[in-house]
A and B are shown apart, each in its own frame.
Chain A
Amino acid sequence: MSAQVDLDEIVVKYRPVVSFKVKKSLGVRTPDWEDVVNEVITQVIEKVTKGEFRGESSIGTFIYTITSRRIIDHIRQKTKVLKGIPEPKALPDPCENAENRERARVLAEAIQQLKPKFKEVLNLYYYQELSREEVAARLGISPRRVSERINYAQKLLRKMIKP
C-alpha cells in the first residue's frame, strides 16, 4: 500500500534540501550538480507515483536515501569517464553570480561592524578553522562560551542585514 503524499509539496520543500546535499557532496564547482538534483527529484516523483513509498520511513528519509544513492552513482560514473583524462579546468564558481556576490558583500560588511570579541571568534573558528577547544584556549573562555558567542554573532548579523 502506498502512502498519500503531495508531489508539488515534495518538489517545493525538498528541492533546496536535495540541492544542498548534492552541492555539499559533489562540490559547488561541479558543473552538473543541478542535473543530479533534477534526476533525484524525477526519481522521487516516479517512485512515489509508482507507489514505492509505503510510509515505512518518513518522506524525508526516503528522499535522503534516493539522493545518497544517486550521488554515489554519479561519482562512480564520473570516475569511469574521467579515468586517464586530464583534469578539466575548474569552472567559475556558480555561486559567485551577481545576487550572491551582493549578499556576501552585505554580510561581509556586517561582520566587519561586529564588536572585536565576536569578530575574533568568527576569525579563529571559521577563517582559521581552529577547533572549538583551540579557540576557547586562545581567548581564555570555555568551549561552550565559544558556541554562545558564535550564535549571538549570527543573531546580530541576522538583525543587521534584515531587509
Chain B
Amino acid sequence: MAKGESKVISVEAKEKKPTGERVLAWTKDMGKHLRKNWVIYTFLIIPVAYYVVFRYLPMAGNIIAFRKYSAGGNLFGSQWSGFKYFKQFLGDPAFRRAFGNTLILNFSYLLVRFPLTLIFALLLNEIKWLPWKKFVQTVSYLPHFISMVIVAGMIKELLSTSGPINTMLVNLGQQAIEFIALPKWFPTIFVVSGIWQGLGWGSILYLAAIAGINPELYEAAKVDGASHFQQVLHVTIPCILPTIATLLILDIGGMVGSGGAFEKVFLLYNPMTYETSDIVSTYVYRMGVYSGNYSYATAVGLFEGLLNLILLTVANFSSKKVSGESLW
C-alpha cells in the first residue's frame, strides 16, 4: 500500500467508521510503524528508563508529603497523614520567611537581570570589530562555567574585612563592613554576583535570535531613512520579541522556585543572615536532610514545585494571549 493511500483510508476512518474499527485501524497502523522502526526506538530504552527511575519515580515519591515516612522505611511511607504537614508548614513563620525571601530575591534579580542582559546583547551586537567582539563574549561567558563553590569563595574573599572592597572603604575614611554577616547586604550580594556570573550567558539566546534576523529588513529600514537607533527599535527588538517573551515566561515560571539560587544561597548564608537569605529550598534542606523531617520537607518542596508549575502555566497562557508566543 502506498503512503498516500493509507492516509486517505485513515481520514475516511475518522469520518465514517465506528470507534471499534477506528481503534483497530490505528492499532494496525501503529503495529506496522513499530515493525518498520523498532530498531531506532531501541535507542530510547536506557534514556527513557533513566527518566522513569530518576525523574518520574521521585515525582511519585512526593506522595510521602501525605504519608508518614520514617528513615529506612518504605519508599512511599507507612500510613496516610492527609494534609497534616501542609497545615504545619503554612503556620510556620520560618517557612513564611523563606517563601518571602525566595520571592524577593528572585524578583529583584529578574528585575535587574532581564533588562541588563537584553541591553548587553544589543550593545554586543553593535560591535563591528570581530576580534574585540569575540574577546568580550569569551570574557563575559566565562563566569557561567565557574563552579558556584569558587564564585562563593570569591565573594567571601572580596567582601572579607581585609578584602579589596573594605580596603577601599577604609581608605576613603569609612568603617569596614562585614558584608557576609549583615542581613541587609544579602540581597545586594545575591543580585550583583548573579549579574557578574550570568550577564554574558543570559545574552547568548538574544544574540542567537539577532543573528537570525533577515538582513533585508535592515536594508529596507536604511532605505526608509532609519537611524541606527531606529533600526534597533523597529527591526531588532520586534524580531527578537518571541525570544524575549519565551525567556520571560521561563523566568516568571521560576519565580517561586529556587533553581540556580539554591547553591549560592546555601554556600553564602549563615544563621546570622537567615532573616533575608533563607529561601524555600535551603529551608527544605534543613528540615529534611539535616533534621530528618522527610515528610514535612517533602510537603514544602511539593508546594513550591506545584506553585511553580501553576505560575508557569499562567505566564504561558497570558503570553499566548498577549503576544502569541508560548512554550507549548
Is B a genuine binding partner of A? no
